[in-house]
Amino acid sequence: MPEGDTVWLSAKNLHEALAGSVLTRCDIRVPAFATVDLTGQTIDEVASRGKHLLMRIGDRTIHSHLKMEGSWHLYRPGSSWKRPEWQARAILGTADWVAVGFSLGTLEVIEREAEEDVVGHLGPDLLGPDWDAELAAERLLRDPEVPVFVAILEQRNYAGIGNEYANELCFLIGAHPTKPIGEVDVPRLVQLSYRVIHANKERATRSTTGDLRPKQTSWVYGRKGQPCRRCGTRIRQGELGPTELIQRVVYWCPRCQPEPA
């Protein structure tokens, strides 16, 4: 699933291309909203909120969430697309651009005043104007027994962190993914979360190691069986989540991130 910085950059690019322009085409390929036609209206703003993307047009908002495979692309009119048309769930055209939302996990058109109904549950946004480090730390500690990995991924605590960052942050603070959040240095965790996502928000290649070379960008994520970059111990892989039905892949170094007693 894309991290919050991916959604932030998509919103930034869409805003720069579309804001202030009039829609010349509006094709929403979701049955519940297929009859919505915003043609002739002006795109006021495109913004991100955590992993949600909000395209504000008049008194409506096109709300999307990329989920696992979604993405927004920008094309010049008449140019070829990089993904097949059958994957397009939204096509929005202006005189200069065509914005295509492919394989969007969530796509709906709502009243702008109802935005809080879809994003109001989110915690402070690491990349948003509402960022509040103290509030994020407070929310992370609401249940001190929750595994740190699970707490990091809970968007109600703070918004924008996905699976890759969650694994990397656990390594950076030296915490096993199952260690209770109440036993870690939460202010440091929050500070690191802010630093890594801001360092990567405009990069084509995400890196938590500071190295942008291929296969050198992560400490533990996606590195099962490979040697730890710090101590040489083989990286392990498992699954962890808030319930047995919701499990995410976790990676850790058994020496740098010792299992809790």
Catalytic one among 56, 206, 223, 248? 248
The active-site residue, picked from 3, 154, 164, 168, is 3
Mean pLDDT across the chain, nearest whole number?
96
**Residue 188: its pLDDT value, please?**
98
Residue ranges per domain, the chain?
4-119, 133-252
pLDDT band for position 253 (50/70/90)? very high
Dump pLDDT digits (tens) for 148-195: 999 999 999 999 999 999 999 999 999 999 999 999 999 999 999 999
* 2 is an active site residue: yes
Is the pLDDT assigned to residue 10 strictly greater than 70?
yes
Please check the confidence at residue 111 and state whether its pLDDT lies above 80.
yes
pLDDT at 131 over 70: yes
What pLDDT, on the 0 to 100 scale, is given for residue 1? 61
Q: Which of 49, 51, 89, 223 is catalytic?
A: 51
Task: Identify the bridge partners of residue 62 per DSSP, sorted by sequence position.
Answer: 55, 109
pLDDT-above-70 percentage for the chain:
100
User: pLDDT of 39-87, one tens digit each?
Assistant: 999 999 999 999 999 999 999 999 999 998 999 999 999 999 999 999 9
Give a three-class secondary structure readout of the chain: CCCHHHHHHHHHHHHHHHCCCECCEEEECCHHHCCCCCCCCEEEEEEEECCEEEEEECCEEEEEECCCCCEEEEECCCCCCCCCHHHEEEEEECCCCEEEEECCCEEEEEEHHHHHHHHCCCCCECCCCCCCHHHHHHHHCCCCCCEHHHHHHCCCCCECCCHHHHHHHHHHCCCCCCCEHHHCCHHHHHHHHHHHHHHHCCCCCCCCCCCCCCCCCCCCCCCCCCECCCCCCECEEEEEEEECCEEEEEEECCCCCCCCC
Tens of pLDDT, residue by residue over 201-221, are 999 899 999 999 999 999 999
CA separation for the pair 62, 83 (Å, rounded)? 21
Specify the pLDDT at position 49: 96
- Asked if the domains 4-119 and 133-252 are classified in one and the same CATH topology, the answer is no
Q: Is 25 a catalytic residue?
A: no
Phi, psi of 98 (to 5 degrees): -125, 120
Which pair of tokens denotes residue 211? 């190295």
For the domain bounded by 133-252, which CATH number is listed?
A: 1.10.8.50
Q: Which of 21, 166, 161, 40 is nearest to 98 (CA)?
A: 21
The tokens 């795109």 sit on which residue? 43
CATH class of 4-119: alpha beta
pLDDT, position 184:
97
Q: Is the pLDDT of residue 256 over 90?
A: yes
Give tens-digit pLDDT for 30-41. Answer: 999 999 999 999
Asked if 133 contacts 190 with a C-beta cutoff of 8 angstroms, the reply is yes
Catalytic status, residue 29: no
Catalytic status, residue 154: no
pLDDT tops 70 at residue 102 = yes
